[in-house]
Amino acid sequence: MRTYHSKELNQHHEYLELLSQRFPNVATASSEVINLRAILNLPKGTEHFLTDIHGEFRALNHVLRNGSGVIKRKITDVFGKTLSTADIKELATLVYYPEERLSIIRHTTDRMDDWYRITIYRLVQICRVASSKYTRSKVRKTLPKDFAYVLEELLHEDEERFNKKEYYNKIIDTIVDLGRSDSFIIALAKVIQRLTIDHLHIVGDIYDRGPEAHLAMDLLMEYHSLDIQWGNHDILWMGAAAGNAACMSNAIRNCLRYANMSILEDGYGINLLPLATFAMETYRDDPCEQFLPKVPETSFLSDSDRILLAKMHKAITILQFKLEDELIDRHPEYHMKDRQLLGSIDFDSKTVEVEGESYPLNDCLFPTLNKENPSELTKAERQVIEKLRRSFRKSEKLHRHIEFLYAKGSLYQSYNGNLLYHASVPMDEMGSFHSFPYEGESYSGKSLMDLFDRLAREAYFDNRRDHGDTDFLWFLWCHPLSPIFGKNKMATFERYLIDQPEAHQEVFTPYFRLVSQEEIAMKILKEFDLDPLEGHIINGHVPVRTLKGESPIRAKGRLLVIDGGFSKSYRKTTGIAGYTLIYNSYGLQLAAHEPFESIEKAIQEGHDIRSTVRVIEKTVERKRVKDTDIGRDLRRQINNLEMLIAAYRKGIVKEKIKNR
């Protein structure tokens, strides 16, 4: 404890008086300092990084339950020499899915009481290892109330100690005798899951492509500790919830493209009947072949449903193009006139001009287009959009999810020396941070990310009070300067209406080429006040083409791109089913996952996601809490408490209760 002079203490007198309300004397302040200093020397908690989930709830759910394989490795560490591989797999499955697995075991196992005793003993051993890096206080807070006392006794008592052996065994016997074994095992399994991962990072794109983003959001809202870095697909739904018509039409189009209607209708209660009625009337005689949904051949979708979805898909796509044209006209400062392609259609030759090239259109049936003013919405289209807007604005569940994204999310996050963002930091060809003018000021690098983060919040929350501009959320969805998009264009028009693949090309902005250079990655880390020799940039957005030999580890280890294909639609490109990153007290580990078959197979047959773990960095000395952001905060608290103790001893602050 350093020496504090009276002058310094008097400068902080008002704050110290406030602090004394919590720590009223030397004894209480000293006790807290002892506790905090001890916590600083505990191993740092395990961080878990996932990105680009894209609605794949079932795979996400399994990866969270198994901690990207961490739980099975803990079981192997404890029982690898005494249990068979089959027994370890069985125990792991029980931890992942305790309720479901117990219901099977009860019908297939004789002498259940013996099984209960052995299993509870084993789970306690695993839980003890999982809890060993935390304080008793933190572990206590994770325990379910019904079993808190019993679990705490079992976790902190040595069953081999002579004086406690009978006591320990009697606790387990009594749990079994009272018929509480199932509930106790379920509680233990959930505590193990909870303690295995201390903090979760979702590095963007929870929404779109997959069918169950709403269920993924439900799951994340229940998670004990997490942060989210917004992806452009998340921003799209944030804009849709705010009632932005261009964002709504894009979100609906994405769902129709992959026949993912459950998120709209069942998940969020969006009424699509007005769109369906409009589409059937407007495109009654149009086969809409370019708009048939992308579904597997094994899909249970009927032919009539496919045709209906195709008509709805075309209707919302044409609406989207019109709405985006209107938005671009409202914002000349976006400099996106080249994306108003409806006006570039030559209806006589059935061609469209894109970037100076003329391409034949594969579809020319546009009954709602006014050749003189193609972006003008018909009266019926306006009515459809207004009805959809009311649905999006009134969906309580959607707004709960979006407000959670705002509460836990941001464009970027600095965490324990690492920099997390979904896609990019805008840069020019020379590697300088791209400048962006706003209200007479110029922003770049970190200041630009902070500005865009603030504007994204204002767009939603001001609009909830009916006086905000939601168009900026669409800007973040698809503008070349958006840090979470990062391409020269979003070629939706070309992909739908032009067959030539060269027209579909979307060129990444300079960042994606430059950031693989170590000096550029280090420059970005410095810009965000992080140590360029120790820190890492962690992002997703661009699937790593493992099949073509691409590596997720770039810039000599300073950049980690962990989008490996969680979304099924990317797996032909990536060759795997996703990367996850683990950062524990020993270093960084990257797990490459094979496709998850099904929850049913995991429960019935113990099928786990097969993962290949690669150690990226191993620390020379084990990382402690003192080496983390939490440790920095704890040291600040210790300094303040030591200052209070000095103030008590000098009489500058009076003790509220006399020491005894």
Rg (CA), the chain: 29
Q: How would you classify the pairing of strands 345-346 and 351-354?
A: antiparallel
Q: Indicate if 16 and 162 belong to the same structural domain.
A: no
φ, ψ of residue 345 in degrees (nearest 5): -80, 130
Which residues, in sequence order, are CB contacts of 182 under 8 Å at separation 6+? 102
Q: How confident is the model at residue 59 (pLDDT cuts 50, 70, 90)?
A: confident
Q: How confident is the model at residue 301 (pLDDT cuts 50, 70, 90)?
A: confident
φ, ψ of residue 54 in degrees (nearest 5): 50, 50
pLDDT tens, residue by residue, 409-443: 999 999 999 999 999 999 999 999 999 999 999 99
Asked whether residue 254 is assigned to any structural domain, the reply reads yes
Find out whether 431 and 520 touch, Cβ atoms under 8 Å. yes
Between helix 70-79 and helix 57-66 the angle, nearest 10°, is 30
The yes-or-no verdict on residue 297 having pLDDT over 70 is no
Q: Which pLDDT belongs to residue 136? A: 86
Q: Which pLDDT belongs to residue 573? A: 61
pLDDT (mean) for 214-238: 97
Between helix 112-131 and helix 70-79 the angle, nearest 10°, is 110
Q: Which pLDDT belongs to residue 646? A: 93
Q: Which pLDDT belongs to residue 467? A: 47
Domain finish residue from 474, 492, 510: 492
pLDDT (mean) for 284-289: 93
DSSP helix/strand/coil, 142: helix
Q: Indicate if 142 and 81 belong to the same structural domain.
A: yes
Q: Indicate if 357 and 483 belong to the same structural domain.
A: yes
Q: Indicate if 355 and 272 belong to the same structural domain.
A: yes
Tokens representing residue 346 in the block: 């030559």
The yes-or-no verdict on residue 569 having pLDDT over 80 is no
Find out whether 354 and 503 touch, Cβ atoms under 8 Å. yes
Q: Indicate if 178 and 117 belong to the same structural domain.
A: yes
The DSSP annotation for 69-124 comes to GHHHHHHHHHHTTTS-HHHHHHHHHHHHSHHHHHHHHHHH-SSHHHHHHHHHHHHH
Asked whether residue 225 is assigned to any structural domain, the reply reads no
Q: Please tell me which residue, 140 or 328, carries the higher pLDDT value.
A: 328
pLDDT tens, residue by residue, 77-110: 999 999 999 999 999 999 999 999 999 998 888 8
Q: Which pLDDT belongs to residue 599? A: 66
Q: Which pLDDT belongs to residue 413? A: 97
Q: Which pLDDT belongs to residue 159? A: 59
Asked whether residue 97 is assigned to any structural domain, the reply reads yes
Q: Indicate if 184 and 240 belong to the same structural domain.
A: no
The yes-or-no verdict on residue 545 having pLDDT over 90 is no
Q: Which pLDDT belongs to residue 55? A: 92
**Mean pLDDT estimate for the chain:** 90
The yes-or-no verdict on residue 465 having pLDDT over 70 is no
Q: Which pLDDT belongs to residue 597? A: 61
Asked whether residue 318 is assigned to any structural domain, the reply reads yes
Q: Indicate if 29 and 98 belong to the same structural domain.
A: no
Instruction: Write out the E strands in 16-87.
Output: 47-50
User: In this structure, which amino acid lies at residue 643?
Assistant: M
Q: Indicate if 332 and 472 belong to the same structural domain.
A: yes
Q: Which pLDDT belongs to residue 219? A: 97
Domain finish residue from 140, 169, 196: 196
Which residues, in sequence order, are CB contacts of 287 under 8 Å at separation 6+? 307, 310
pLDDT (mean) for 381-386: 97
Q: How would you classify the pairing of strands 47-50 and 199-202?
A: parallel
Asked whether residue 642 is assigned to any structural domain, the reply reads yes
Asked whether residue 631 is assigned to any structural domain, the reply reads no
Q: Indicate if 302 and 437 belong to the same structural domain.
A: yes
Query: How far apart are alpha carbons 328 and 581 in whole angstroms?
Result: 39
Q: Which long-range contacts (CB under 8 A, 24 or more apart) does 335-344 make?
A: 336/479, 338/489, 339/489, 339/493, 340/375, 341/493, 341/494, 342/369, 342/374, 342/375, 343/374, 343/375
Q: Which of 550, 587, 580 shows the shortest CA–CA distance to 563?
A: 580
The yes-or-no verdict on residue 445 having pLDDT over 70 is yes
Q: How confident is the model at residue 169 (pLDDT cuts 50, 70, 90)?
A: confident
pLDDT tens, residue by residue, 101-114: 999 998 888 899 99
Q: Indicate if 113 and 184 belong to the same structural domain.
A: yes
Listed in sequence order, the DSSP H helices in 353-395 are: 379-394
Q: What domain range includes position 31?
A: 6-42+638-650
DSSP helix/strand/coil, 156: helix
Domain finish residue from 169, 196, 223: 196
Could you tell me what percent of the chain has a pLDDT over 90? 71
Which of 158-162, 217-221, 599-603 bottoms out in mean pLDDT, i.e. has the lowest? 158-162
Q: Indicate if 251 and 382 belong to the same structural domain.
A: yes
Q: Indicate if 148 and 260 belong to the same structural domain.
A: no
Q: Which pLDDT belongs to residue 462? A: 84
User: In this structure, which amino acid lies at residue 5?
Assistant: H
User: In this structure, which amino acid lies at residue 360?
Assistant: P
Asked whether residue 167 is assigned to any structural domain, the reply reads yes
Find out whether 611 and 68 touch, Cβ atoms under 8 Å. yes
With tokens 């197979």, the residue in question is 601
Q: Please tell me which residue, 362 or 603, carries the higher pLDDT value.
A: 362
Sign of the dihedral defined by the CA atoms of residues 545, 215, 88, 67, in that order: positive
Query: How far apart are alpha carbons 521 and 530 in whole angstroms?
Result: 11
Q: Please tell me which residue, 62 or 207, carries the higher pLDDT value.
A: 207
Asked whether residue 50 is assigned to any structural domain, the reply reads no
User: In this structure, which amino acid lies at residue 652?
Assistant: I
For the chain, what is the domain count?
Answer: 3
